[in-house]
């Protein structure tokens, strides 16, 4: 009896202890930086504190008391605007810890009205690369207040590396992390390692005029212990306590929500629009894709990783984001790994006839923004003959007013660059009478007013057409028509989002599809809209496949919205019902008299009946499911690549007729080219390779220089090997081959792959050149369009 009494007394005492247990402490200004709440240090009243379940504010003395919760693992603070954590925004709950005081310090980089911050994502590496210093220096240069990593750090080696090398102390400003699907790793539970290294998987903070909310990926490689309902229940309490006037910037590794922005669990849900939601940041897809939701005005912002090419061949980049009280004001992509990139376009390429000509230069730096550019020209005796400023045409390209006559003399030019941080750089260039072995003479240069991706020049109705992309979602995407004879702009048409692939033309109509899945038909002469179709209804992922026109039908889209449209009316003729999934390949749809060939990355290569849309066959083995480029069709043979293997397939059955694995990486957007008995293939790592089309034996290889930007999937300068990427297919000029490369050069090779000449245009060339009569048209990444006399 006595034993039972003692046991009951002990249980009651334990129960009362649990019931009375609390997580208590102060939120304080850590004036001496020791991480301890010392006597005399100022406290912060009405600071929001949470254990992931309860959310409350500190009292007038900066003190808080949270009832103990056996499921809670952290106590964390929502850092008020104007402050940042002195050490960390969280403390791990431990039986040995008596109090949970968290220190803050003032953040002088924060402006109450404007906030600049950096978004990076999907770095997925345990290697130290130049992107780390790039991001750190750019953030310091722009006086950014924080860096937000939106997940996939990834796997155990990558997570440990980032915790050691990409942290707040070493980067010089607060670095926050979100949980990605590959950050849920083997352990006691999926997010255990993330918690050990980075703290809570969901939390919030204030910075400048905005309230930031970070939530975790709902599933991944290993099952997490948290649930949607758990996170939503906390989120409701957090948002109820935020300043009602502050916009909400929502962060999750994926855009896993409907267009109504109602986040739903099994029993819980919350309408984020009611809390002044203004932006949703994510990654996951390895692409560059931003848009504004038409009904709510919410900015949806995704970026590719800063250290490698994207799955859809998006450029490696990070984002500089500007937030005001009204939400996201501007999103500026920054391309990684370019430092003091300065290149004068050789003035001697221009007409040798007497007369003043403008100078053009490509200038870009990943660490700093360019403030101004000037050119100083000296004659052969060292006398200054010209000094002039450049004006910006795009974020790479700069041009002077007509400056001087350069015919029949030799000069030295100094391109002088001033950066916004007060530093300078100078590049010396010597130019003169054009080398007679160089048979290209520049007729004119135009600019599309923005960067351009894989949109080749399209020559129609006396116009040269192109299109621009806007990865920041700032409303700057457009289709542009230049005059065929002068390069001057004749008309522009604004599109809802970026046009990243080839424009198509037939019978006076130009057709294109943007990355949001909107198809357009324009009058080629005037640029007036004939019809528009919203095919994808804004679903992810972005659309980057080039459509095709055949006999008055425009074929575009992928998956469930692969569609055949009447070119004149936009009427839907058929829609794919046979497959879905993966990501749109960044190559192009190929149509023949009776078939349509397309693909989806991570899925398959598909052959459809062109007239009905019925799937005829699909192939996904031996790397064919990794679709970057389109196919070439000759007779009853289909030539395709997958990873490092070349395939020849039967056109009607899809059966493999022959294949060969080679020491090349074929993850490029280019379509294979058949020239006589040669099969020419662009590569992501070794330039151009030519094979015998019958035996698939290698005939020759021409290697270009290192890429200026990284587009091919997972290509990276961190791999310590040459990345000689050619995203464009070579075009035949007589018996020669002409193509542009990611190193910024335009190349001409003879039939045996020997270099005839190369021209440094200073910006990557992703699109195929256009050859017509004696003219050669080239569009570069900076939006420059060049018309060359091809004598």
Triad 368, 371, 375: Cα angle to 5°: 115
The rounded radius of gyration (Å) of the Cα atoms in the chain is: 29
d(CA 338, CA 559): 36
Per DSSP, helices labelled H in 482-543 are none
Beta-carbon count within 10 A of 33 CB: 10
Q: What are the extents of the domains in the chain?
A: 341-431, 671-765
CA–CA distances in Å: residue 107 to residues 103, 143, 145, 304, 421: 13, 11, 8, 29, 20
Q: Which pLDDT belongs to residue 2?
A: 42
- The CA distance from 200 to 230, in Å, is 13
**What is the Cα–Cα distance from 208 to 365, expressed in whole angstroms?**
27
For domain 341-431, the CATH class is mainly beta
CA distances to 146, 461, 535 from 528, in Å: 44, 14, 20
Residue among 164, 158, 165, 133 at smallest CA distance from 336: 133
- Say if residue 469 is preceded by a cis peptide, omega within 30 of 0: no
Total-model pTM? 0.94
Q: Positive or negative, the Cα torsion across 121, 124, 125, 129?
A: negative
The whole-angstrom separation of Cα 271 and Cα 232 is 10
3-state class of 95 per DSSP? coil
Is the Cβ–Cβ distance between 415 and 378 less than 8 Å?
A: no
pLDDT of residue 141: 95
Secondary structure class of 648 (helix, strand, coil): strand
Q: Which residue ranges in the chain fall short of pLDDT 50?
A: 1-19
Q: How many other C-beta atoms can be found within 10 angstroms of the C-beta atom of residue 259? A: 14
Q: Which tokens hold the place of 755?
A: 């270099």
Q: What is the DSSP letter of 26?
A: E
247-276: per-residue pLDDT in tens?
999 999 999 999 999 999 999 999 999 999
**b/e 384-397 (16+ beta carbons within 10 angstroms → b):** eebebebeebbbbb
Alpha carbon distance 599, 611 (integer Å): 18
Give the model's pLDDT for residue 354: 66
- Judge contact between 361 and 347, C-beta under 8 A: no
Cα distance between residue 427 and residue 415, in whole Å: 5
d(C-alpha 79, C-alpha 243), whole Å: 13
CA 649 distance to own-chain centroid: 33
Q: Which helix (H) or strand (E) covers residue 488, if one does?
A: none
Distance CA 649, CA 620 (A): 12
671-765 has the same fold as 341-431: no
pLDDT at 7: 39
Question: What does the alpha-carbon distance between residue 91 and residue 100 come to, in Å, rounded to a whole number?
Answer: 7
Instruction: Tell whether the torsion through CA atoms of 694, 695, 699 and 704 is positive or negative.
Output: positive
What tens digit of pLDDT does each residue of 421-433 get?
A: 999 999 999 998 6
Do residues 735 and 752 touch, judged by C-beta distance below 8 A? no
Q: What is the pLDDT of residue 14?
A: 39
In this prediction, residue 408 carries a pLDDT of 75
pLDDT tens digits, residue range 283-299? 999 999 999 998 999 99
Pseudo-torsion of CA 399, 403, 405, 408, nearest 10°?
A: -50
172: three-class secondary structure by DSSP: coil
Fold of 671-765: Thrombin, subunit H (2.40.10)
Contact criterion met (CB below 8 Å) for 289 and 280: no
pLDDT for residue 790: 80
Strands, E assignment, 185-298 = 203-207, 210-214, 248-251, 262-264, 269-271, 277-282, 289-292
Closest CA to 214 of 44, 390, 90, 395: 90
For residues 395 and 363, what is the distance between their CA atoms, to the nearest angstrom?
A: 8
């Amino acid at each position: 009896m006595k034993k039972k009494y003692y046991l009951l007394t002990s249980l009651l005492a334990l129960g009362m202890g649990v019931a009375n247990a609390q997580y208590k402490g102060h939120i304080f200004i850590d004036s001496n930086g020791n991480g301890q709440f010392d006597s005399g240090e100022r406290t912060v009243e009405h600071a929001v504190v949470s254990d992931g379940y309860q959310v409350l504010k500190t009292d007038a003395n900066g003190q808080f008391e949270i009832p103990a919760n056996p499921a809670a693992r952290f106590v964390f603070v929502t850092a008020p605007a104007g402050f940042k954590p002195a050490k960390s925004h969280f403390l791990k709950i431990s039986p040995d810890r008596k109090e949970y005081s968290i220190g803050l310090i003032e953040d002088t980089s924060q402006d109450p009205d404007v906030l600049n911050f950096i978004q990076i994502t999907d770095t997925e590496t345990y290697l130290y690369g130049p992107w780390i210093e790039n991001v750190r220096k750019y953030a310091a240069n722009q006086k950014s207040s924080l860096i937000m990593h939106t997940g996939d750090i990834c796997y155990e080696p990558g997570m440990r590396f980032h915790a050691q090398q990409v942290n707040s102390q070493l980067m010089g400003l607060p670095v926050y992390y979100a949980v990605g699907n590959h950050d849920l790793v083997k352990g006691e539970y999926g997010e255990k390692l993330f918690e050990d290294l980075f703290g809570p998987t969901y939390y919030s903070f204030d910075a400048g005029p905005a309230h930031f909310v970070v939530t975790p990926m709902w599933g991944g490689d290993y099952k997490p212990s948290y649930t949607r309902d758990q996170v939503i229940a906390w989120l409701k309490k957090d948002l109820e306590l935020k300043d009602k006037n502050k916009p909400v910037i929502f962060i999750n590794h994926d855009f896993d929500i409907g267009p109504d922005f109602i986040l739903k669990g099994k029993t819980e849900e919350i309408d984020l629009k009611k809390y002044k939601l203004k932006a949703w940041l994510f990654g996951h897809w390895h692409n560059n894709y931003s848009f504004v939701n038409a009904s709510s005005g919410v900015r949806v912002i995704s970026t590719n990783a800063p250290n490698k090419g994207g799955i859809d061949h998006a450029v490696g980049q990070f984002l500089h984001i500007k937030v005001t009280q009204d939400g996201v004001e501007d999103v500026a992509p920054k391309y990684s790994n370019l430092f003091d990139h300065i290149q004068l376009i050789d003035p001697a390429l221009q007409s040798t006839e007497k007369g003043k000509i403008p100078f053009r230069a490509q200038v870009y730096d990943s660490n700093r923004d360019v403030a101004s550019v000037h050119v100083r020209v000296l004659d052969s005796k060292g006398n200054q003959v010209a000094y002039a400023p450049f004006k910006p045409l795009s974020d790479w390209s700069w041009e002077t007013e007509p400056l001087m006559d350069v015919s029949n003399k030799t000069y030295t030019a100094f391109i002088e660059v001033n950066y916004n941080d007060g530093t300078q750089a100078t590049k010396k260039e010597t130019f003169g009478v054009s080398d007679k072995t160089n048979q290209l003479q520049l007729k004119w240069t135009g600019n599309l007013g923005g960067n351009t991706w894989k949109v080749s020049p399209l020559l129609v109705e006396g116009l040269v057409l192109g299109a621009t992309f806007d990865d920041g979602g700032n409303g700057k995407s457009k289709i542009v028509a230049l005059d065929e004879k002068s390069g001057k702009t004749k008309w522009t048409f604004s599109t809802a989002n970026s046009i990243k692939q080839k424009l198509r033309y037939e019978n006076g109509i130009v057709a294109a599809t943007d990355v949001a899945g909107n198809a357009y038909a324009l009058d080629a002469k005037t640029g007036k809209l004939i019809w528009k179709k919203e095919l994808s209804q804004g679903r992810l992922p972005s659309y980057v496949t080039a459509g095709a026109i055949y006999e008055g039908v425009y074929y575009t889209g992928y998956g469930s919205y692969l569609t055949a449209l009447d070119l004149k009316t936009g009427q839907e003729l058929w829609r794919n019902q046979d497959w879905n999934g993966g990501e749109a390949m960044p190559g192009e749809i190929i149509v023949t008299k009776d078939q349509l060939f397309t693909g989806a990355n991570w899925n398959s290569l598909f052959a459809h009946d062109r007239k009905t849309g019925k799937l005829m066959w699909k192939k996904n083995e031996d790397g064919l499911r990794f679709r970057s480029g389109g196919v070439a069709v000759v007779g009853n043979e289909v030539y395709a690549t997958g990873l490092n293997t070349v395939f020849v397939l039967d056109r009607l059955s899809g059966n493999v007729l022959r294949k060969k694995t080679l020491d090349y990486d074929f993850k490029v957007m280019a379509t294979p080219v058949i020239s006589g008995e040669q099969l020419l293939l662009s590569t992501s790592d070794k330039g151009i390779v030519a094979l015998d089309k019958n035996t698939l034996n290698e005939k020759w290889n021409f290697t270009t220089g290192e890429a200026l930007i990284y587009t091919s999937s997972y290509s990276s300068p961190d791999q310590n090997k040459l990345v000689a990427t050619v995203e464009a297919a070579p075009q035949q000029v007589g018996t020669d081959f002409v193509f542009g490369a990611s190193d910024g050069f335009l190349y001409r090779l003879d039939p045996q792959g020997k270099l005839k000449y190369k021209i440094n245009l200073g910006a990557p060339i992703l699109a195929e050149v256009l050859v017509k009569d004696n003219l050669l048209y080239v569009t570069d990444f900076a939006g420059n369009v060049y018309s060359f006399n091809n004598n």
